[in-house]
């Protein structure tokens, strides 16, 4: 197809605009896109969608093929492993042809009763529906759940539902047995809602205009919202507020935190109008996590070390912490769960999630015995506790999965180590995990740091520099990019791609230090690590002319920064809801997230140094006149976390400055007009979205056919 025959991209209008900070003046002709309700902006996004559709119309057969591959591997009518809590088994089930899960329960005659048999497409006897996502979503393009909690007397359920994608929820309280709505007074709430122990009161979170959860309120069910009581308000704009409850609903808990500092408040759930008590008032840099353990608290904290330790405190003196266990070399303690006969510590070790068991020992000063490691199957297996709501549990639900092994849920006796497989994620068709391989390698970064990477491919793919490659990363917020099984990923592997995860600094894979070495002025380590991994792959595992890169949200910032620095390493890039106009966003405290994010990126509004380092890597500000690879940027109109403004501005500037040949390396923007940060919400819609993204990548890599 000649250039003359190609569909022409829309031209983004430019309007003169400048900003000056710390003596530095920047021209930003696309600043007008900050108004997401501007009809001209909506028209521009619509035109961009039409252009992207036209440029990829030839991929319709491939998109449909990938969608059908994903769908054919999924057991569409399925049940989760039931979780016992009180007199009921709780589970979710999916129905073939329906987009959303049904959240439900069925009777549990005794605490030691066997779990109901898992029958695909079946409905357990005596089922009561807590929330039917398909009914709730009827007539809407988007649906998400932000709260689902049952009262202690097992009579009521509160559900928080978002029908826009902006992560603001309407709360509805129902009688479970009858389905009758008895309260729908609360709208615009944040995540989480909890009953007091009597079921008379509901506690909920409110967000401010910048979408920061900053208030907790108490609502008497059945009364007007105007009578609600404000429990706590957080005026420090750096702090976020969360609401939860301890195991078996003994305490209500309010957590406040920044990226470095936390504070927890407790209230006995049977005293809803009583006084909340602080575990320990905030101290800058002190971060701690609390678990109620009978007549005391267990606390994971960083008072002594940034990788955290385990301590206990009495309920009478919650701020006085007594040591139990210090982390070992290469370990990072994350949290703790208390049960009648043992305690389970969650941590990271060797770059992977891990668990430790501490048996009860009444004779010891901490009333706990020595920690025992939890065995793991495979070098790239992710291990985690499942939902275990009962303190008296003697067998815990534990999940494990890898890049090639589907998620398995076990009932495990932590004291004996005995385990029973309850469910392995079904993968239909001719799937055989032995057809695939996963392994870990280490890559030397520019400063000599050894960066772990996870490599997944079909058996028989050799590191001979001929295979197409797909490199992904994240690298922010101390969030690890741990192994997980994906049915959809099989469509890449089966086309011969080598799928690689770069566990770059800024993430949490290797502990708190790994995170701190990829933030603030050290943020460029994140990008340098990613480029070093790309260089390691090119000519080794991957054909140097056929490497793709992908990242979302803060991982989209990673992709944007890397493309400015090393565009020649990649044939194609996908940036999902990318945080690419980071400097502009961090200069505006009225935007969602900004003030709380200053402890992640720095405060360029107040600090010249922070302005300098962000100006040096922010993707939008550093787009250059150079050849870029083919780029697909995907976003959503109602995204609160990364505004659609950012990728729209970025693509407009790329088109203005890139020297690409648009016939071979197009730059596309596609916006979901009825979705939020996570994209389309229905499972079939989400599969189609993935199919569209991957078809674009596969086309650019010349890897459209399944390898036989």
Residues with catalytic function: 553, 639, 677
- DSSP class of residue 139 equals T
Return phi, psi of residue 263, to 5°. -155, 135
The C-alpha angle 562, 692, 5, rounded to 5 degrees, equals 85
Q: From CA 211, how far away is CA 205, in angstroms rounded?
A: 11
The DSSP line for 260-292 is: S-EEEEEEETT-TTS--EESS---TT--EEEEE
User: Among 417, 372, 380, 414, which Cα is nearest to 400's?
Assistant: 380
Q: How many CB atoms lie within 10 A of CB 101?
A: 20
If DSSP codes are grouped into helix, strand and coil, which group holds residue 124?
coil
Q: From CA 546, how far away is CA 701, in angstroms rounded?
A: 5
Whether the Cβ atoms of residue 677 and residue 663 lie closer than 8 Å to each other:
no
Q: Which residues of 610-624 are buried (b: 16+ CB within 10 A; e: fewer)?
A: bbebbbebbbbbbbe
How many Cα atoms occupy the beta-carbon half-sphere of 491 within 13 Å?
Answer: 26
Q: From CA 4, how far away is CA 13, in angstroms rounded?
A: 23
Whether the Cβ atoms of residue 546 and residue 702 lie closer than 8 Å to each other:
yes
Longest dimension (CA), the chain: 83
Show the tokens assigned to 501. 């995860």
How many Cα atoms occupy the beta-carbon half-sphere of 196 within 13 Å?
Answer: 18
Instruction: Supply the Cα-derived Rg of the chain in whole angstroms.
Output: 26
Whether the Cβ atoms of residue 593 and residue 534 lie closer than 8 Å to each other:
no
Q: From CA 308, how far away is CA 684, in angstroms rounded?
A: 41
- DSSP class of residue 538 equals B
Show the tokens assigned to 274. 């009583």
The C-alpha angle 236, 239, 241, rounded to 5 degrees, equals 120
User: Among 159, 135, 139, which Cα is nearest to 147's?
Assistant: 159
Whether the Cβ atoms of residue 324 and residue 311 lie closer than 8 Å to each other:
yes
The terminus-to-terminus CA distance of the chain in angstroms comes to 30
- DSSP class of residue 84 equals E
Whether the Cβ atoms of residue 89 and residue 82 lie closer than 8 Å to each other:
yes
Residues 6+ apart with CB under 8 A from 109: none
Q: From CA 110, how far away is CA 698, in angstroms rounded?
A: 53
Residues 6+ apart with CB under 8 A from 410: 397, 398, 399, 400, 419, 420, 421, 422
Whether the Cβ atoms of residue 405 and residue 435 lie closer than 8 Å to each other:
no
Q: How many CB atoms lie within 10 A of CB 406?
A: 17
């Amino acid at each position: 197809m000649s250039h003359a025959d190609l569909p022409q991209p829309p031209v983004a209008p430019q309007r003169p605009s400048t900003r000056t900070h710390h003596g530095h003046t920047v021209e930003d002709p696309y600043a007008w896109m900050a108004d997401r309700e501007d009809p001209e902006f909506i028209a521009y996004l619509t035109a961009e969608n039409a252009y992207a559709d036209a440029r990829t119309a030839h991929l319709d057969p491939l998109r449909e093929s990938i969608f059908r591959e994903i769908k054919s591997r999924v057991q569409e009518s399925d049940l989760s492993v039931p979780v016992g809590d009180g007199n009921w088994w709780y589970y979710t089930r999916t129905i073939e042809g329906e987009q959303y899960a049904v959240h439900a329960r069925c009777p549990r005659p005794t605490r030691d009763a066997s779990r109901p048999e898992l029958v695909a497409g079946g409905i357990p006897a005596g089922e009561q529906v807590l929330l039917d996502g398909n009914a709730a979503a009827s007539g809407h393009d988007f649906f998400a759940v932000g709260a689902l909690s049952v009262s202690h007397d097992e009579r009521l359920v509160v559900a928080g539902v978002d029908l826009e994608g902006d992560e603001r929820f309407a709360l509805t309280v129902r009688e479970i047995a009858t389905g009758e709505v008895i309260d729908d007074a609360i709208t615009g709430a944040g995540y989480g809602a909890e009953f007091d122990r009597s079921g008379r009161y509901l506690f909920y979170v409110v967000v401010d205009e910048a979408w920061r959860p900053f208030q907790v309120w108490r609502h008497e069910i059945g009364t007007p919202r105007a009578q609600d009581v404000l429990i706590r308000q957080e005026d420090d704009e750096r702090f976020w507020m969360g609401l939860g409850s301890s195991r078996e609903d003994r305490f209500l808990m309010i957590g406040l935190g920044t990226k470095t500092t936390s504070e927890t408040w407790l209230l006995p759930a049977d005293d809803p109008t009583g006084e909340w008590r602080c575990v320990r008032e905030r101290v800058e840099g002190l971060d701690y996590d609390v678990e109620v353990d009978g007549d005391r608290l267990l606390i994971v904290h960083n008072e002594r070390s940034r990788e955290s330790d385990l301590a206990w405190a009495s309920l009478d003196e919650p701020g006085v912490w007594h040591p139990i266990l210090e982390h070992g070399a290469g370990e990072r303690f994350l949290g703790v769960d208390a049960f009648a006969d043992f305690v389970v510590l969650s941590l990271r070790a060797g770059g992977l999630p891990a668990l430790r068991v501490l048996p009860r020992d009444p004779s010891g000063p901490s009333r706990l015995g020595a920690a025992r490691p939890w065995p793991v199957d495979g070098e790239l297996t992710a291990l985690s506790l499942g939902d275990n709501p009962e303190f008296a549990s003697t067998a815990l639900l534990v999940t494990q999965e890898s890049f090639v092994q589907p998620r398995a849920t076990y009932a495990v006796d932590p004291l004996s180590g005995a385990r029973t497989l309850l469910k392995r994620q079904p993968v239909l068709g001719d799937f055989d995990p032995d057809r695939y391989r996963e392994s870990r390698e280490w890559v030397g970064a520019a400063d000599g740091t050894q960066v772990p990477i996870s490599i997944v491919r079909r058996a028989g793919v050799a590191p001979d520099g001929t295979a197409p490659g797909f490199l992904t990363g994240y690298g922010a917020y101390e969030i690890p990019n741990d192994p997980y099984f994906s049915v959809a990923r099989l469509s890449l592997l089966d086309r011969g791609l080598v799928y690689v995860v770069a566990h770059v600094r800024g993430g949490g894979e290797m502990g708190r230090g790994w995170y701190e070495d990829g933030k603030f002025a050290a943020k460029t380590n994140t990008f340098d690590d990613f480029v070093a991994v790309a260089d390691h792959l090119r000519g080794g595992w991957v054909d140097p002319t056929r490497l793709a890169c992908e990242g979302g949200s803060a991982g989209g910032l990673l992709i944007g920064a890397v493309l400015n620095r090393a565009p020649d390493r990649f044939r194609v890039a996908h940036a999902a809801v990318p945080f690419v106009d980071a400097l502009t966003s961090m200069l505006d405290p009225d935007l969602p997230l900004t003030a709380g994010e200053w402890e992640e990126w720095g405060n360029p509004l107040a600090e010249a140094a922070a302005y300098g380092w962000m100006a040096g890597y922010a993707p939008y500000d550093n787009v250059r006149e150079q050849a870029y690879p083919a780029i697909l940027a995907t976003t959503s109109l109602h995204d609160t976390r990364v505004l659609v403004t950012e990728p729209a501005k970025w693509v407009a500037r790329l088109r203005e400055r890139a020297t690409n040949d648009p016939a071979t390396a197009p730059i596309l923007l596609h916006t979901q007009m009825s979705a939020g940060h996570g994209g389309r919400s229905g499972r079939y819609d989400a599969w189609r979205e993935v199919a569209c993204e991957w078809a674009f990548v596969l086309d650019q890599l010349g890897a459209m056919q399944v390898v036989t």
